[in-house]
Structure 1
Amino acid sequence: MKNIYITDLDHTFLKTDLSISDYTKTIWNSKSTDSILSVATARTYKKTAQFLKDIHINAPMILLDGALIATMDKKIIDTKFIIKEIADVIINEGGKFGIYPFVLALADDSLNEAFLHSSILNEHQKEVLTRYTKDDNLQEHKDIRAMDDNFKIVYMGEEKLLRELAALLEKIFGDSLKFILAPEAYVGCYFLTILHRDADKAYGIKSVCEYSGLDLSKLTVFGDNFNDLGMFELASTSVAVANAQAEVKNRADIVLTHTNDEDAIAKYLEGLKSAHRPH
């Protein structure tokens, strides 16, 4: 049975400038003949495919924090949606706090995704949107409403405000939804991600393993942030990069000495190769 390597993207596999070095590409791609390789990310299919155009992926990908499981050639394996009625209640409650979310939704059966945002944006959201200016799936709305099939709802802002909103929404919805509050390292604020209760990276990995007949005892995962903790608990070996959140490091089996900007994962994988080479 082949070893399985599944990595988070942002601040783990990707450099902070969202690039992937030639060294990392070479080391990662060299594993594809004898290993199962995939990613588990908060990113959409569209962005993930852009980032990984030179990267070998030979298993379904866990996308949008586990709300979507899909192959690189756009075959949808599984979805976990927030229905429109619930999503619109969430948007209304956030509006009482003066903040409006990004809504990531499925636009059609061809795996085209919609990125909805309000015309009322805070400075953090404005900065994030500068990275999506070339994307054709952005939709601005004066009165933002959800679509029928919503992968996730994401608020960005100050930690205190988002904690208050999360507490209110948890009171309304209980455990029927999943709430992830975490630091947003690119723009220096926090983000609150709201998902279907079964949408997470760990659930996604289980779906991939069942679909592909993979052995979880062969699984190594890489991550840096709180939304990686579920897959850390599931994996046989969990690996945190040097720049990971302190709690993530505490829960990891291995903490690397290198950061995402120092090709941490590639150096780890190359080290495994050296360790198994006969002396």
Structure 2
Amino acid sequence: MMNKVYITDLDHTFLRSDLSVSDFTRKIWNAKAKESTLSIATARSFYAAMKYLPGLTFNAPMILLDGTLIATPERKIIDAKFIDTAAANDLIAEAIRFDNIHPFVIGLKNDNLDESFDFPRTKTPTQEKVLLNYRDDISLREFDHIVAKERTFKVVYMASKERLVALTEHLKGIYGDTFHFKLSPENYTGDYFLTILHPLGDKAHALKKVCDVLGRPLEDVTVFGDSINDIGMFRLAGMSAAVANALAETKAVAKTVLPHSNDEDAVAHYLKSTMK
């Protein structure tokens, strides 16, 4: 029988709340990687993910930036889903007209997976708080007038739930299926974020692509997660495990809910229970 495939979300699932990885998790993960196929599915870029994962073994393509980018651990790009530049810039202008709200714009600078992270001079309080976590990120650039570029992965708004619910409804009414709209809680600040992506730029489509590359059926895959953007993967994979601290919506579609939280090494405890 072929070894199984295990793919985990990072924030609030695999990483602890302080963004660390415990010695226990590192030990179990690397031991499991000797007998199985292990990787990640995250909203983070390659470098933002690897910053918190030193000493860990990955032996399958990585799902990055909400599923808009798939790349190998050796930084070879397998698939990329960029949004339509002209439509994205029209949307950015419409959001300013509607609510004077400006986004983060995240894209790809080159084929070495160097990321561009553009942020506006006019920021919401939520954006101000989130940027504190990126103080040392060399990809950060501030603009008076922020725009999407040729290789933009996502446009991200961060504000209160009420403000973003109204913005989402307004933009969906205009742009429909041109983009994939993902409205979710922002767990670090208690507010919300609206991520606008290519229509096929999500973890579910990326998971299918990874399985094609590996030549493995979805039934062989176990996925771990906590949030809205994990639900698509949960519905496809043979096994889906929500950590104890996952959102209720995510737990509702999971095949199992783990007894441990991300701060209690939930993924590592599950992997240990499957080891030979």
Match of 1:195 in 2: 197
Amino acid at match of 1:24: T
Equivalent residue letter for 1:90:
L
* Matched letter for residue 57 of structure 2: H
Quote the residue 1:88 is aligned against. Answer: 89
Residue 262 of structure 1 corresponds to which residue in structure 2?
264
- What stretches of structure 1 move > 4 A for 4+ residues in a row? none
Where does residue 32 of structure 1 map in the other structure? Answer: 33
Matched, 1:98 2:113: no
Note if 1:142 corresponds to 2:134.
no
Task: Give the Å deviation of 1:37.
Answer: 0.3
Which among 217, 221, 233 is matched to residue 231 of structure 1? Answer: 233
Per-residue deviation, 1:165: 1.0
Q: Residue 4 in 1 paired to residue 27 in 2?
A: no
Q: How far is the alpha carbon of 1:247 from its aligned partner?
A: 1.2
CA distance in structure 2 between the partners assigned to 1:151 and 1:189 by the alignment: 22
Q: Which residue in the other structure is 1:110 paired with?
A: 112
| Superposition deviation, residue 196 in structure 1 | 0.3
Q: Is the 8 A contact 1:49 1:72 kept in 2?
A: no
Does the 8 A contact of 1:256 with 1:264 survive in 2? yes
- Please tell me the residue identity of whatever aligns with 2:114: N
**Which residue is 1:70 aligned to?**
71
Deviation at 1:135, TM superposition (A): 1.2
**Greater shift in the superposed pair: 6-15 or 129-138:** 129-138
Q: How many Å apart are 1:168 and its aligned residue?
A: 1.4
Deviation at 1:109? 2.4
* Alignment TM-score, normalising by the size of structure 2: 0.97
- Structure 2 runs not aligned, ≥5 long: none
1:157 pairs with 2:164: no
Distance (Å, rounded) in 1 between the aligned partners of 2:129 and 2:55: 27
In structure 1, the partner of 2:24 is 23
CA RMSD of aligned residues (A): 1.0
- Asked whether the equivalents of residues 102 and 153 of structure 1 are also in contact (C-alpha less than 8 Å), the reply is yes
Secondary structure of the residue aligned to 2:110 is: coil
The Cα shift of 1:53 comes to: 2.1
Alpha-carbon shift at residue 94 of structure 1 (Å): 1.8
Letter in 1 for 2:28: I
2: CA distance, partners of 1:226 / 1:135: 26
Instruction: Tell me which amino acid in the other structure corresponds to 2:187.
Output: A
8 Å CA contact retained: 1:102, 1:117: yes
8 Å contact kept, 2:95–2:171: no
What is the Cα deviation at residue 133 of structure 1?
A: 1.2
1:272, CA displacement in angstroms?
A: 2.3
184-193 vs 46-55, which moves further: 46-55
CA distance in 2, matches of 1:115, 1:15: 24
Aligned residues: 274
